[in-house]
A and B are shown apart, each in its own frame.
Chain A
Amino acid sequence: MDRARREALQRDLARLADGDRDAFHPVFVCLWPLLRGFASRYLSAEDAEDAAQEALVKVFARAAAFDRRRDALSWTLGIAAYEIKTARRRRQRRREDGEPLLEIGDARASPEALAMAREREDAVEAALSLLDPADAATLRAYAAEDPPPVSGATFRKRVQRALARLRLAWRIDHGRP
């Protein structure tokens, strides 16, 4: 999020806390994609959608108590992070109870979720293509859980370095990873 949008969010959330209903729509339009994107970094598509919705509703439920001296973006992401944590815990509990899990590419996933997953895969592929071929091969082998061609410790070190370069390439193309 750039500086201007961040300042606009701070201003609009302060207005909403004061009771100015005109600020509702700008805050909603700013926060919904932000929270959805934030949740999708840590959760599967379906869980991310649910967690983002819960986080958004909680942000608005607490908006009247927002302290304008605090940073609006950090405050919002703090609420979202808690929701993500709760969703992960819920998923972990389900896994422990032996319930079948839905995969990201599940047939029941929405077309929107599938498109987002495809977009993400394309972005990862594009970032991998910027890397040295050896780094890209290391990361592909790591993702596919193939047996490493070298010793475990060496492979882990190579993965670590390749991931650092991938993060840098991603940051250049997409902002913060």
Chain B
Amino acid sequence: MAVPEAALSARARRAYEVGRLRTALPAIVFAAVPMVGLSVALCDRPLASAGCGSALVAVLLAAAWRGQWFARGARAGLVAGLGPLLLPMATCFHLCAGGICLLVPTACVLAGLVGGAALGVHARHRVPTGPDAGGYLFAALTVAALVGSLGCVIAGASGVAGMVVGLAFGTVPVLWWPARAS
């Protein structure tokens, strides 16, 4: 049946937007869900893990829907967050003598620094300067922080905060110094 072109265009537009949301599914199913499962199993804080996981899924959906540099940033953030996710989990198997153990929070900060520096280097080489770079870094840092939080909840709020500070301190100098020099 013939339909007005405007109605057909609106239907096509809706289909396109839903299709964009669907592009987030592989990242959610094959990356976010296993990460949350690992966090719930190893970190002993299921509520915090579920909260971070939900936020991660929401950000991945939003970035995939928005597309362009936001989607690329989210993919880079998933990779950059692997260090802060896995390193604190690995350190939780160590034996700690004495009262206070700072190994896990330290691992969070260090992994955050390394992940942030890696993101900064990647952004410097692959992302053109301008508003695109802002969107890329925003999505990448948000996703990396949420992925890292899934591992750093093992050290509590201080671990998460340390990891976020580490990410920021790792990224900013890598981006800022070369820009200043040029």
Contact = CB atoms under 8 A, between A and B. Distances in A.
Interface residues of A, number: 24
B64 to A, nearest CB: 8
B22 A64 contact: yes
B11 interface: yes
A63 interface: yes
Interface string A18-31: 11100010001000
Contact of A58 (B15, B22, B23, B68): B15
Contacts of B11: 53, 57
A110 B2 contact: yes
Interface in B2-37: 2-3, 5, 8-9, 11-13, 15-16, 18-20, 22-23
A127 B12 CA distance: 36
B12 to A, nearest CB: 4
Nearest to A111: B2
Contacts of A19: 20, 66-68, 70-71
Contact of B5 (A32, A63, A65, A113): A32
Nearest to B65: A19
Looking at chain B's contact residues, the main secondary structure is helix
B1 interface: yes
Given A61-B16, A61-B19, A28 B2 contact: no
A62 B71 contact: no
Contact of B15 (A20, A50, A57): A57
A60 interface: yes
B7 to A, nearest CB: 10
A60 B11 CA distance: 9
Contacts of A20: 67-68
B20 to A, nearest CB: 5
Given A32-B5, A49-B2, A61 B68 contact: no
A65 B3 contact: no
Interface string A66-104: 000000000000000000000000000000000000000
A161 B71 CA distance: 56
Given A60-B19, A64-B20, A112-B2, A18 B68 contact: yes
Contact of A60 (B3, B15, B22): B15
A110 B1 CA distance: 9
Contact of A61 (B2, B15, B66, B67): B15
A24 B9 CA distance: 9
Given A32-B8, A64-B22, A24 B16 contact: yes
Contacts of A56: 8, 12
Contacts of B15: 57-58, 60-61
Given A49-B1, A49-B2, A63 B68 contact: no
Contacts of A46: 1
A64 B9 contact: no
Contacts of A49: 1-2
A-B pairs, 9 with minimum CB distance: A19-B67, A61-B15, A60-B16, A60-B12, A61-B19, A19-B68, A64-B19, A64-B20, A60-B15
Given A19-B68, A64-B20, 19 more contacts: A16-B16, A18-B68, A19-B20, A19-B67, A19-B70, A20-B68, A50-B1, A53-B8, A53-B11, A56-B8, A57-B11, A57-B15, A58-B15, A59-B12, A60-B12, A60-B15, A60-B16, A61-B19, A113-B2
